[in-house]
Every structure is written in structure tokens, then in C-alpha cells.
Amino acid sequence: MMQHEAEYRPEGYHESQLIESLEPDQLVAAVAKPLSRLRLSRPVRIALWAVRVFVLTISLLVIYTFIVQLTE
Amino acid sequence: MWLLLGPGVLAMLGENDGPSILSYAFSGATYGVGFFLPFIAVTFAAAYIVQEMSMRLGAVTHRGYGELIFQRFGPFWGWVSAADLFVTNLITLITEVIAIRIGMGFFGISAPIAVACAVGLVVLSACGSRYSRWERIAMGLALFNLVFVAVAILAHPSPLALGHALLTWTPFPQGSTSVFLLILASNIGATVTPWMLFFQQSASADKGLTPRDIPQGRLDTLIGTVLAAVAGCATLVAAAPLYTHHVDMSQDLSGSGFPQALLPLIGRPAAVLFALGLIEAGAVAMLTISASTAYAVSEVAGGVGHSFNHSLREAPLFHAANIGVAAMAGAIVLIPGTPLLAIALNANLLATVLMPPALVFLLILANDREIMGSNINSRVTNFLGILITALVTAAGSAYAIVAFMETFHSKGH
């Protein structure tokens, strides 16, 4: 646990102990600062695009079927 | 404990919405008590795995799902995810208004009044600028989802048949492959959907859950899962007499057929409860799905308030999106000639088709040690998460490809 706490944290990250001591309104303000970007590896970027292309293709099939069934 | 109940119960019972209830009822009416009874229970178990990750992310990062995608993956993926959610939510909301309209229609209430009630509920629940107030209204309505258990009991199912179906997953559905795949994909889309991820994570953050609250968050999610699974299975059982009496519901799926068709089979009290259940299912989902749209839009827009704890002045985009998307859905339902039946059928299917990218983002975020620390996914959770992603992808694409091939060939001939 302690080992993880000492690891790199992105900008905008707040430790749990600090968060747990805040009131709801203070919490909203505390997390207003954005976290820094995740460093995505090339395989992960390719996977994200592959899933997106796949979903768009399947969506086109569904939309085509939907429209044809409406007109029948 | 009671104070920590909320997002999990609401996400699960909110997902037993208009199109979901119609999917479960259509499963019962088409195939009776058999394969789909345990299948529905298993889809809820899958929903628990996914929603637990979502709750954990909200409790640890104190940020909404859309906000995290936007910040960790960049604006492009943030907006793409928000666009996916907006499309599915708008279509689903249209179906919720249809459910409310049909349920109220059973009692002789006109369509414009029903639509006004649906949109008015969203406006009223947002007044007061407090998440806790909004949550109490939604929770009160959501518990009424269990009305389908009463309807199932009034349908007098055979305990032996229920036990046999749950243990053996039989009788297995016979007949058209595309109808089977449509019902399969619809039932998955009825329990595992993009809006639930956005909603539970954002609501957990909005409620102020912290890593210390994760065990209670899990219990909240588990209670919601059990309640929603019981209500979902009960809906299938309640509609099963239509299968036994060979009533064909394939031409009347918009919902008006179910309470009306069940009337001579299970009696007026049960049919009235079914109609009330449809209204409730639509009403709770109106609140939760409008909220998830508002969270997503205002989170990815950045720099603006995105909480029920903010007033209209502090979070104008959040409140405008919450009420605006509900009003848009209501307006579409009132347009003469809108294909309501076709929209109702395809709402859950679309949710299934658009779910894989949301699950991939969820799995990456839940394994992001930089923001999750020691609360990252276990190996078992990762295995189950990947398995669920693969099955959801296969179910959605199987129906899409089979239905496309059938439609394409029928057009060709």
C-alpha cells in the first residue's frame, strides 16, 4: 500500500486521506483541476481505433437494416 | 449504510427501463419460461462486475467517467464517448417516454399529458440543487420496480417449471435465428449499457464516495443487482402466459399490447400493475438517463459545474442538458408518424452495439495504477471484464450481421 502511495501520480491527483477529510462542496472544488494525459502505447492506440472502426461498421449494418425494415 | 445506498441501486433499477421491460416481456411471450430466465440473471451478474468497476473509479478518482476519459485519453476520445452516449441516451429516452405514454394510455390519459408528466418529472427532480434530494425522488420511484414481482405471482407460474429453467437453461428457444439473436442482444442491452457507466461513476463522485466507502458501494451495487434481476426475471414470468396461450406479440411490441393482452389471462389487477410498472420503469429511467447525459456533456465540456449540488447559475450546461434531452425525447414522441415501434425495438440493440468501446475504456481506466493506486482491478475482475466485453461484442455483431444478410437477400429477391 505504502509502496503504491509513493508511485508517480498524475497532475491533479489527490491522496485519499485528503479527499476523505473534505466536505462535499470542498471535494467538488478539489477535483476541479484536471488530471494529466495517460501515455498510451502504440498497441493500445491501435486497439482503440480498431474497436471504433468495428463499432461504426456494425452500427452501419444496424442502421441499414432499421431503415429497410421501416420502408417495408 | 442507508446513506451510502443510491447510485448502485439507481443504476440497476433505472436500467429496468421501458425497453428493458419490453425485452424481458417479449422474451417470456415468445419463448415462455426457459433459456432466457437464467440468461437474464447471468446478464445482471455481468452488470454487477461492470458497475462495480465504475463505482470504484468514481470513489477513488472523484471524477465522472466522461471526465476521466476526456482527461486521460484526450478531448477526441472524450467527445466520441460523449457522442455515443448522447445518441443511445436520446433513443433510449424516446423509448422511456413511449413506455410512460403507453402505461398512462392504459388508464385513458392522452399522449400530450403523458409526455408533459414525463418531462415535468425531470424538471421537478432537479429543483433544489441537491444531489441527495434528486436521489431520494429517484430511489422512491425505483423501488416500485418490484411491482413486476407481484404481477409474476398473480400469473401463477409453475414453481417446478421455474426451478427446471433456472437449473437446466431449457427449453432452448426454437424458430427464427434472427429473432433469437435480437432478443439475446436486447436482453444484454437491457442490463449492460453505456449510460450506466457514466451514471454510476459520476453519481458516486457526486455523492462524495471515497476509497473507504468502496465496500458499501459494492453492497449498494449488489443490492441493486439482486433487486433488478428479480424484477427482470419476474417480468419474463409475468408475460409467459402469452406464450402458453399462443398469443403472437410480434406485431405489437410497443407495450400497449402487453397489459391489454395479459388482461384476460392474468386478470385486471395484474394488468393494471403491469401498466403501472411500465410507467414507473419509464419514469425512473427518464431521471437517471437524463442525468447521465447531463453528467457526460458537462464533464467533457470542462470548466463548468457538473453536479446536482450546483444551482442552475453554477451549472447551466448540466441542468440544460438534463432537462433539454428529456424535452427533446418528449417532442420526438409527439411528432406524428414517428416510428415509435421500430425505435423501441432497436433501442437496446443499439446500446449493445455501442457498448464495447465503453467497456474497453473502463477496463483501461480501472487498471490505471497512476490514478487507482492499490484499487486497480484484480486478475479475476480483469478476466471477467474481458469475457463480458467479448460476449457483448459477439452478441451485438451476430444479430447485426445476420439481420443485415437476411434484409440484404430479401431486398435482392
Q: Do residues A50 and B393 touch, judged by C-beta distance below 8 A? A: no
Residue (of B27, B32, B407) closest to B186 by Cα position:
B27
Judging contacts by C-beta atoms under 8 Å, the chain B residues touching residue A67 are: none
Task: Determine, for residues A62 and B349 on separate chains, whether the beta-carbon distance falls below 8 Å.
Answer: yes
Q: Which of B57, B213, B397, B410 to mutate to test the interface with A (most CBs of A within 10 A)?
A: B397
* Gap between the Cα atoms of B27 and B240, Å rounded: 8
pLDDT at B291: 85
CA distance B76 to chain A (A): 12
Task: Determine, for residues B373 and A19 on separate chains, whether the beta-carbon distance falls below 8 Å.
Answer: no
The grid coordinates of residue B74 equal: 484526450
Judging contacts by C-beta atoms under 8 Å, the chain A residues touching residue B194 are: none
pLDDT one digit per residue (tens) for chain B, 413 residues:
455 567 898 889 888 888 888 889 989 999 999 999 999 999 999 999 999 999 999 999 988 888 899 889 998 998 888 888 888 888 888 888 888 888 888 888 888 999 999 999 888 877 765 777 777 777 788 788 889 999 999 999 999 999 999 999 988 888 888 888 888 888 888 788 888 888 888 888 878 888 888 999 999 999 999 999 999 999 999 999 999 888 876 655 454 568 888 888 999 999 999 999 989 888 888 888 888 888 878 877 765 666 777 777 778 888 888 899 999 999 988 888 777 766 776 777 887 888 899 999 999 999 999 889 889 999 999 999 999 999 999 988 888 888 888 888 876 65
User: Which helix (DSSP H) or strand (DSSP E) does residue A31 occupy?
Assistant: none
Secondary structure letter of residue A8 according to DSSP? -
Closest chain A CA to residue B345 = A66
* Gap between the Cα atoms of B369 and B107, Å rounded: 54
Instruction: State the SS3 of chain B.
Output: CHHHCCHHHHHHHHHCCHHHHHHHHHHHHHHCCCCHHHHHHHHHHHHHHHHHHHHHHHHHHCCCHHHHHHHHHCHHHHHHHHHHHHHHHHHHHHHHHHHHHHHHHHCCCCHHHHHHHHHHHHHHHHCCCCHHHHHHHHHHHHHHHHHHHHHHHHCCCCHHHHHHHHHHCCCCCCCCHHHHHHHHHHHHHCCCCHHHHHHHHHHHHHHCCCHHHHHHHHHHHHHHHHHHHHHHHHHHHHHHHHHHCCCCCCCCCCCCHHHHHHHHHHCHHHHHHHHHHHHHHHHHHHHHHHHHHHHHHHHHHCCCCCCCCCCCCCCHHHHHHHHHHHHHHHHHHHCCCCCHHHHHHHHHHHHHHCHHHHHHHHHHHHCCHHHHHHHCCCHHHHHHHHHHHHHHHHHHHHHHHHHHHHHHHHHHC
What is the complex's ipTM, to 2 decimals? 0.75
Kindly compute the dihedral angle of the four CA atoms of residues B192, B198, B204, B208, in this order, to the nearest 10 degrees: 180
Residue (of B247, B413, B94) closest to A72 by Cα position:
B413
The grid coordinates of residue B170 equal: 431449457
Task: Determine, for residues A4 and B370 on separate chains, whether the beta-carbon distance falls below 8 Å.
Answer: no
* Gap between the Cα atoms of A20 and B315, Å rounded: 24
* Gap between the Cα atoms of B61 and B371, Å rounded: 7
The Cα angle at residue B279 between residues B13 and B190, in degrees rounded to 5 = 40
Task: Determine, for residues A62 and B350 on separate chains, whether the beta-carbon distance falls below 8 Å.
Answer: yes
Number of Cβ within a 10 Å radius of residue B72? 25
* Gap between the Cα atoms of B292 and B203, Å rounded: 9
Closest chain A CA to residue B77 = A48
Strand, coil or helix: A63:
helix
Task: Determine, for residues A47 and B360 on separate chains, whether the beta-carbon distance falls below 8 Å.
Answer: yes
Q: Which of A35, A54, A71 to mutate to test the interface with B (most CBs of B within 10 A)?
A: A35
The better pLDDT of the pair A44, B306 is held by A44
What residue type is assigned to position B345 of the chain?
L
Q: What is the mean pLDDT of chain A?
A: 74
Judging contacts by C-beta atoms under 8 Å, the chain A residues touching residue B403 are: 61-62, 65
User: Which helix (DSSP H) or strand (DSSP E) does residue A70 occupy?
Assistant: helix A42-71
* Gap between the Cα atoms of B368 and B382, Å rounded: 12
CA distance A31 to chain B (A): 7
* Gap between the Cα atoms of A19 and A39, Å rounded: 25
- In which region does residue B59 sit, left (phi positive, over 0), alpha (psi from -120 to 50) or beta (all else)? alpha
Q: Which of A14, A24, A65 sits opposite B309 (nearest CB)?
A: A24
CA distance B350 to chain A (A): 8
Closest chain B CA to residue A14 = B61
Q: Which of A1, A40, A56, A61 to mutate to test the interface with B (most CBs of B within 10 A)?
A: A61
